[in-house]
Structure 1
Amino acid sequence: MDKIAWFLLPSRDNRAVPVQFPKEAEKEMARSLREFLSAELDIEVGNLQTGLLLNFFLSEIAPTVYNQAIADAGRYLHGAMTELPAVCFEPEYQYSERKKLDAQKRSKAR
């Protein structure tokens, strides 16, 4: 499947990694943009103009959206990790406590 690289994102080793969309997704984005421009702004544009505008949006605006999504995901994961000990905690070394509770239950049952 052909993919189009629209913008670059930094990787862990600080190399730019292209964000790629399948060719079909690119066509659908362009179609949607053309429909929006026509319906909402009464502007008719051709394929070249749509491609240029889409490229501008994806190279200039999409990284901001991406960065915000990563920040939101980071906050969510941080919150989940903070709650992890409370959610997944298992008491340790409970033999003595269990013995005491068992003894109390037996004495109450008598």
Structure 2
Amino acid sequence: MPIELPKEARQQAIASIERYFREHMDEPIGNVAAGGLLNFFLQEVGPSVYNRAVADAQERLLARVQELDIEVHEDEFGYWKTAGCGGRRST
């Protein structure tokens, strides 16, 4: 499944790559080259990041589901514990 960014996020990512090259590399990179580099990283590295994020989300959801019984547990057959001894006795 290819990873695609919304148009605005893609434009911001390309601008960020261009800025990184201006500030940290010997030569600046143009808009087209930055877009190509972004495509490469989305195809090559993106799936690893995506899969790790999905695994992290699964772990968190599993932990929450395992706590669900503690958070919403109700004691069964509790009427007599809370009603007291005011009931009628048969003889």
TM range (shorter): 0.7 to 0.9
Tell me if 1:58 matches 2:48: no
Over aligned residue pairs, what C-alpha RMSD do you find? 1.4
- Report how far residue 24 of structure 1 moved: 1.8
Percent identical among aligned pairs is 36
Aligned pair count reads: 85
Q: Is the 8 A contact 2:3 2:43 kept in 1?
A: no
Structure with a larger share of its residues in strand: 1
Q: Deviations over 1:22-44 (max 9, x none)?
A: 22211110000110111112321
Tell me if 1:78 matches 2:86: no
Structure 1 residue aligned with 2:73, among 84, 89, 101?
89
Give SS of 2:4's match: strand
> What is the TM-score of this pair, normalised by structure 2?
0.83
Residues in 1 aligned to 2:63 and 2:37: alpha-carbon distance in whole angstroms: 38
5+ residue gaps, structure 1, are 1-7, 9-17, 104-110
In the other structure, the counterpart of 2:9 is: 25
Give SS of 1:20's match: coil
5+ residue gaps, structure 2, are 86-91
Q: Map of 1:39-54 to 2, 5 A cutoff?
A: 39-54=23-38
Relative contact order (alpha carbons < 8 A, sep ≥ 6): 1 or 2 greater? 2
> What is the TM-score of this pair, normalised by structure 1?
0.70
